[in-house]
Amino acid sequence: MIHYFDNAATTPVRPEAVQAAVEAMTQGWGNPSSRYALGTQAAEAVKNHRAQVAAGLGCRPEELFFTSCGTEGDNWAIQGAVELGRRTGKHIITTAYEHAAVLEPCRALERQGYEVTYLQPDRAGNISLDDLEGALRPDTVLVSMMLVNNELGTVLPVAQTAKLVHQKTKALVHCDAVQGFLKVPCSAKSLGADFVTISAHKIGGPKGVGALFAGGRAKVPQPLLYGGGQEAGTRPGTEATAQVAGFARAVQ
């Protein structure tokens, strides 16, 4: 018998989520971009699933964009933020113990001439708001802070951070909420971040699907890829209807 305790890495897929995914693959397998009945039925299902996931995050469905995973959401938010802030400056603030999905894009931007300030946690994993305020500059374009650290379990002061950043600068705030979504009390509104990343496989949903909230100052994220008009023109590619269905059922 296996006793599994590593839910920070992934979670077993709930039977209800498996059933929803199977139904989408065997019954609702139409392309949501198709104009005939099978496609429009799939499009309506994706619309309903978006509303269900948005309800879990406490945002409007039109503010939620499906992704392939948390890593894509983090990269999308970071790239989108620096693009939106290109006239403001080239300074980014994050924490030294973010997930690699945040740290590696930041390091890539450093190679392109951006300056990144990495806030250091204390021994308990806490991040100082005084350190954050001291790091803010007129040319800061993005502050990225996770909600729950995946190794220590520390809950970070995202809401206070967003309030401070928005008061002091024009910067956008991104929160990697993958480890905290539906585990600690939070919503897009209470966090106050412009971008929030979530993932299905941390809450009993399938791998291969996540979502990015874009609101506040962010509005609509800049596309990472170009192609068809899916996800309101922001993320081309045929929707992963089965994964999305499993995600929505897991949220419910």
Q: pLDDT confidence of 221, banded at 50, 70, 90?
A: confident
Interior CA angle at 192 toward 168 and 109, to 5°? 65
**Mean pLDDT, the chain, as a whole number?**
96
| Distance separating alpha carbons of residues 71 and 144, to the nearest angstrom | 13
Q: Check residue 171 and report its DSSP letter.
A: -
pLDDT score for 64: 97
Q: Which amino acid, residue 230?
A: Q
3-state secondary structure of 100: helix
Q: pLDDT confidence of 220, banded at 50, 70, 90?
A: confident
207: phi then psi, degrees, rounded to nearest 5: -75, 160
Show the beta-strand stretches assigned E in 105-220.
115-119, 140-144, 172-176, 195-199, 210-214
Q: pLDDT confidence of 95, banded at 50, 70, 90?
A: very high
Segment 180-186 shows an average pLDDT of: 96
Q: How far is CA 252 from the centre of its chain?
A: 18
219 pLDDT more than 90: no
The model carries a pTM of 0.96
Longest dimension (CA), the chain: 58
Segment 37-47 shows an average pLDDT of: 96
Q: pLDDT confidence of 6, banded at 50, 70, 90?
A: very high
Give the C-alpha distances (Å, rounded to integers) separating 67 from 54, 92, 243: 14, 23, 10
In the chain, % of residues over pLDDT 70: 100
| Distance separating alpha carbons of residues 82 and 120, to the nearest angstrom | 22
Under 8 Å between Cβ of 117 and 92:
yes
Q: How far is CA 222 from the centre of its chain?
A: 14
240 pLDDT more than 90: yes
Under 8 Å between Cβ of 213 and 63:
yes
Residue-wise pLDDT tens digits, 129-142: 999 999 999 999 99
Residue-wise pLDDT tens digits, 106-122: 999 999 999 999 999 99
181 pLDDT more than 90: yes
Strand partners, 143: 93, 173
167 pLDDT more than 90: yes
